Structure 1
Amino acid sequence: MKILTLLIIAAALTAGGSGAILYYAMASSQTHTVKAQVMGVGGRIIAIPDKGTGYIQNDTLTFQVESGVNINLQIIPDPGWRFSSWGGDLQGNVNPISVIVNKDMYITANLVPK
């Protein structure tokens, strides 16, 4: 089984929460689009590494992964913020969490003030 790991780090660079999503994506002929976004006041992506097939548009990281790839998601909130829940195509409040990508997905990480 192939595994994709995402690490979302929230950082208070503005009056609200901000975030960074680190990722690695593999190319394949059968891929799905995954969009990940940090939600909350001022939530935005601040950095990504140079590996992978992703891009940022309107504070949303979009990347392609092979069908059937298991992704691990983890959010680490900045001081003063806490992780509340996942939203979109991923529900629950377990952090970190693992999900198998078998369709296009839109995932949000919801942050709230402590």
Structure 2
Amino acid sequence: MHVGQRVSCLVLQADTTNGEARLSLRTGPDPFQAFADRAAVGQGLRGRITGVRPFGVIVEVADGIQGVVHRSELLPPDVNPSEAAFPPGTVLAVVVTAVDRRRRTVSLSRRQAQAG
């Protein structure tokens, strides 16, 4: 790809206040929407840790689809997440607690995965 090249894209989100748009070069099916179609609240998944933040752990649950295990949903609950406790690349069992199509977010629980 180079500057000035014409491309086809999909508009994912538009912000008329700031004059910004979120675009996707993918012209096929939206992977997030495909995931949302097949994911169900309460469904168990296995995913790989891709990051650790003060609010929780980021887990890739499908190709290109990441969700967040909030710190209240970790074991023990409200533990301060660290890469020492949750090394990137580690595979975790998680449960889907919410899928927000509008915000394109996936919420996950480690606690519920261990309980069930």
Shorter-chain TM-score bucket reads under 0.3
TM-score, structure 2 normalization: 0.24
Q: Which has the higher contact order (CA 8 A, sep 6+)?
A: 1
Which structure has more strand as a fraction of its residues? 1
Which structure has more helix as a fraction of its residues? 2
